[in-house]
Structure formats: structure tokens, C-alpha cells
Amino acid sequence: MEAVLVNVNEFQELARQALPKMYYDYFRGGAEDEQTLKENVEAFQRITIRPRILVDVSRTDLSTTVLGYKISAPILIAPTAMHKLAHPEGEVATARAAAACNTIMILSYMSTCTVEEVASSCNGVRFFQIYVYKKRDVTANLVQRAERCGYKAIVLTVDTPRLGRREKDIKNKMVAPQLKNFEGLISTAVSSDEGSNIEEFAKSTFDASLSWKDIGWLRSITKLPVLVKGVLTHEDAIKAVEVGVDGIVVSNHGARQLDYAPSTISVLEEVVGAVKGKVPVLFDGGIRRGTDVFKALALGAQAVLIGRPAVYGLAAKGEYGVKRVIEMLKDELDLTMALSGCPTLNHISRNHVRTENERPRSML
């Protein structure tokens, strides 16, 4: 008799059992010593919740909007690459799960299904994540294809002038498939005798000269709103607002880029304070429980993104697994809100959490 899954973390072990070691290591792994990878999750454990009592929570409402699009809960699917390494249906299955849960999927530039395949697979709100390549026409082509296919926003990843050193991929000599989005544009079949061919591909194609002025270039090729993903400091948050972005994603790339960068939850409040409500701030990194979602919202995020949990669900049980991951987090968030005295998301405030070095409020 199959064991009953009771939380999102249990999908990781099922994914480990289901996947070849090379692919499991690719999805699970982080940069170098993986200190930031560990800290992304553990930093949440040092934040406590301050529940309020005797509040009417007979009805709770998790719904919200992101860039004007209403979703059932503040939980989006983060852009993660190459879903067909996790499951034969790839990003199409993930997109269907997101649509069934009435939330937004951010499709990765490095997806194994084309932007057109995902767009035609189901009705739903989707954003498209991009990198900028040395050959700018490749990026422009994909942005314009996404816009024609009805994607609602462009999410520019800004923390990857070079690919972080992912030592498990190097040891495994990680081999990525040819990516269908790039057929006729650029070859992703880069060989490397010494390590990961993903690292070699990134080195040969990613534009390390990308800078703030290029936000203007991106705006010139699309009418869609532009969000930047990879902001970790108040200085960069202020600059992003100054150059006119439509939103910010606080992210350290799932701890896959710069090891010993801070956990994202530890800098969220710094970024939110710098933005001062001028654009929405989304959060990415380390979400494993509904209590994590609650804490991120209390510290100022409008919504959170989930990456690895969705991929683990996909690897374990396909489209159904992704849906269960989203539903589990929604159910846990709903319970956390009820037990904390918050009938709606608007009731969640900074007063509902205490960070590690913060004194009890009775002492302030």
C-alpha cells in the first residue's frame, strides 16, 4: 500500500527514487559548498510567528492579484529549466497543473517544451523568463514569440553574467538535451570533456556585458511588463525602480549562482523597504511550507515562487504531483492564516512575525 504524502518535502525523496542521479543532482544541487542552498531553507526556521487570537476566521480568502491577474493564492511556479528531465510531458504538465490551481506559471527560457507548446496546452496566465544572449536577436525572437502566444509578462534574470559553479553537475558531466525553443536560432549541443555541457553552453552564449541600460533595450522589443529576478540589495532595488521595471523578484537563483550570498528571506525586508510600494515585490527561494509563505508575506512579499518543490512533484507524479504540491502549500497557508488570526492576506502584517535578532515587542 502506497504511503500517504502529507507535506511537500516528501516529494523530494520520491523524485530522488524516480530520477537518474545526474538529473536529480541537477535539480537539487546548488553552487560550490551549497551553504546558501542550506541557508535558504534554514533561515525560515529562525523566524517565528506571532499569532493573534479571538479573530473571526470562519471564512478565509487566499486570493490575490499579481500585475492585475487574479490568482487563487500567492504561490506561483518559478522558472526552472528542462522539465522533461523530470517527466516526459515536461513544462506542458507543469503548465496544466498551474492552470488547474488557478495560478501563474513562469516558463523558463531553458524549457524543454516550446513557448508555443506550453501556450496551446491549456488556458492560464503565464509569464516568460529570459536570459540575454550575446546574439541579441535570439533573445528578441523568443520574447516576441512569447508575446504573440499570450504570455503576460517578461521576467529578466539578472544574476547570471556567468553560470555559477555547480560541482555536482561537473562531476556528473551533466548533459542537457537540445532545447526546442532554439531550433533554427542557436545550437545548445555544446560538448565538454571536462565537466557540465550546461556550463559550457552558458559560457559561450550568455551576455556578460548586460547592464542597467539594457532594460531600455528590452522595453523597446516588447509591450509586456518587465520584472527583474535576482535582486538581493536595497541599492539594486532602488536602481531597478529608477530604470522603470514593473516588478522585482527577490532571488538568489535557488542558491545555484553565488555561494555565501544571503538567504533570500533574510534580505526580503531590505528590498521591500527600498521599493516603498512603487512596484510589486515577489519572493523566490526556500519555500517548503505554508508557514514559509506566511512569513514571506508578512515581511512584504506580494507572492512567492516555488521551484524545486514543483519539479519534485513533477518527477514523482507528473501533472498530479505538481498540483498536489501547490494544493498542500495552499492548505498549509490557509491553516496558518486561521491559527494566526488572519482571515485574508491583507490581514497579514509585519507584526505577525519576529525575526531572529528582533526583541519581543513588549520590550520595545
CA 163 to each of CA 107, 203, 212: distance values in angstroms, whole numbers, following the listed order? 19, 7, 19
111, 90 contact by CB (below 8 A): yes
Q: How many CB atoms are located within 10 Å of the residue 276 CB? A: 10
Query: Phi/psi of residue 154, each to 5°?
Result: -110, 130
CA 162 to each of CA 50, 157, 176, 221, 266: distance values in angstroms, whole numbers, following the listed order? 41, 12, 17, 24, 24
Q: Which residues of 201-227 are buried (b: 16+ CB within 10 A; e: fewer)?
A: bbeebbbeebeeebbeebbebbebbbb
Instruction: Indicate if the alpha-carbon torsion angle 144, 145, 147, 148 is positive or negative.
Output: positive
234 is catalytic: no
Query: Which residues sit in the known binding site?
Result: 26, 79-81, 108, 129, 131, 157, 166, 229, 251, 253, 256, 284-288, 307-308
Query: Which residues sit in the known binding site for FMN?
Result: 79-81, 108, 129, 157, 229, 251, 284-288, 307-308
Active-site annotation holder among 83, 253, 347, 352:
253
Chain-centre distance for alpha carbon 72:
17
DSSP string covering 13-60: HHHHHHS-HHHHHHHH--STT-HHHHHHHHHHHT-EE----S---SS-
43, 268 contact by CB (below 8 A): no
CA 123 to each of CA 20, 94, 150, 344, 364: distance values in angstroms, whole numbers, following the listed order? 32, 13, 10, 27, 50
Quickly list H helices, the chain.
10-18, 21-28, 35-45, 90-100, 115-121, 136-148, 167-172, 197-205, 214-220, 234-242, 264-275, 290-298, 308-340
Give the span between the Cα atoms of 299 and 269, in whole angstroms.
6
Query: Which residues sit in the known binding site for glyoxylate?
Result: 26, 131, 166, 253, 256
Residues with a known catalytic role: 253
